[in-house]
């Protein structure tokens, strides 16, 4: 038991930043991301002995995370447009201005995507989940994941193009 607990703490400590990034990018709300990650790792602890024997622990944990987000009543995702609460990075990375602007606008752009679209983007391109694992995590078909991905890419491209263009106007 003590070994299992140490394993759990090691696993969670290592994965915490990535779980939190995933949750935050999916919901756009720092507090909600904290809550959901906390709930997820608590549930993970309860089931750790079984989960840690799973073939793909990461995929399973992502699935838990998505379900917690879906279950979270406050998260009326379609209405999450919390741009006012978009957090400032504490230490802005040193990068060219354009790239920095694009990163910020991506976070803002995600806030405007429908729930499913932002979830597929995060799961597939941040978490590197396969089509099958993304579908499993979201509880939908792979065809659904593919069409949501295609739509999300189109939407993000439009959003970023628009912000890029409007960002360039003053210059």
Partner 1 sequence: MTTLDEQRISELLRSAPVPEPRVDVGRAVRDGRRRRRRRRVGGIAAVTVMAGLGVVGAVQLGGAASRPAPATPAVAASPAGTVSAAPGSPVTCEASWLPRPIGGPVAVANGVDPTGRYIVGDIGTGREDGRVVLWTDGQAGVLPAGARHAAAVNAGGVVVGTNGDGTGWVYRDGGLRFLATPPGYHAVLVHAVNGRGDIAGTARGAGDSHQAVLWSADRPQEYRLVGQPGSAATGITEDGTVVGVMGQLPYRWTPQGTGAALAVPDGYPRASVESAHGEWAIGMVPGVRQGGAVQMLPVRWNLTTGAVSLLPFPGTTGIAGNGDLLVGDGAPLVVAPDGTSRRLPGRPEVRATEAGTYTANGISDDGLTVVGAVYENQVHRPLVWRCRR
- Answer yes or no whether residue 25 interacts with partner 1 by CB under 8 A: yes
- Answer yes or no whether residue 159 interacts with partner 1 by CB under 8 A: yes
Shortest Å distance, C-beta 48 to partner 1? 8
Which x/- pattern over 106-145 shows residues binding partner 1 (rule: CB under 8 A)? xxxx-xxxxx-----xx--xx-x--xxx-xxxxxxxxxx-
Q: Which of 27, 32, 64, 65 binds partner 1 (CB under 8 A)?
A: 64
Which x/- pattern over 66-95 shows residues binding partner 1 (rule: CB under 8 A)? -x--xx-x--xxxx-x-xx-xxxxx-xx--
The tokens of 82 are what? 């919390």
Shortest Å distance, C-beta 3 to partner 1? 14
- CB-CB neighbours of 159 under 10 Å: 18
- Answer yes or no whether residue 162 interacts with partner 1 by CB under 8 A: yes
Q: How far lies 79's CA from each of 28, 151, 153, in Å?
A: 11, 18, 20
- CB-CB neighbours of 88 under 10 Å: 6
- Answer yes or no whether residue 154 interacts with partner 1 by CB under 8 A: yes
Q: Which of 7, 98, 166, 168 binds partner 1 (CB under 8 A)?
A: 166
* Contact call for residues 93 and 100 (beta carbons, < 8 A): yes
Q: Which of 27, 32, 37, 129 binds partner 1 (CB under 8 A)?
A: 37
- Answer yes or no whether residue 41 interacts with partner 1 by CB under 8 A: yes
- Among residues 125, 123, 109, the alpha carbon closest in space to that of 158 is found at 109
CB burial readout 10-47, b (16+ within 10 A) else e: ebbeebeeebbebbbbbbbbeebbebbbebbbebbeee
Q: Report how many residues bind partner 1 under the rule CB under 8 A.
A: 97
């Amino acid at each position: 038991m003590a070994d299992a607990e140490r394993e759990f703490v090691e696993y969670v400590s290592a994965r915490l930043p990535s779980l939190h990034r995933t949750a935050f990018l999916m919901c756009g709300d720092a507090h909600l991301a904290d809550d959901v990650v906390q709930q997820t790792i608590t549930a993970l602890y309860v089931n750790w002995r079984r989960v840690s024997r799973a073939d793909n622990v990461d995929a399973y944990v992502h699935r838990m995370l998505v379900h917690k987000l879906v279950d979270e009543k406050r998260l009326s995702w379609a209405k999450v447009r919390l741009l006012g609460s978009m957090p400032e990075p504490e230490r802005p990375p040193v990068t060219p201005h354009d790239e920095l602007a694009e990163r910020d606008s991506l976070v803002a752009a995600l806030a405007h995507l429908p729930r499913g679209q932002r979830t597929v983007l995060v799961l597939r391109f941040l978490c590197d989940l396969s089509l099958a694992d993304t579908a499993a995590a979201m509880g939908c078909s792979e065809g659904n994941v593919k069409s949501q991905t295609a739509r999300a890419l189109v939407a993000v491209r439009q959003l970023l193009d628009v912000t890029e263009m409007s960002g360039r106007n003053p210059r």
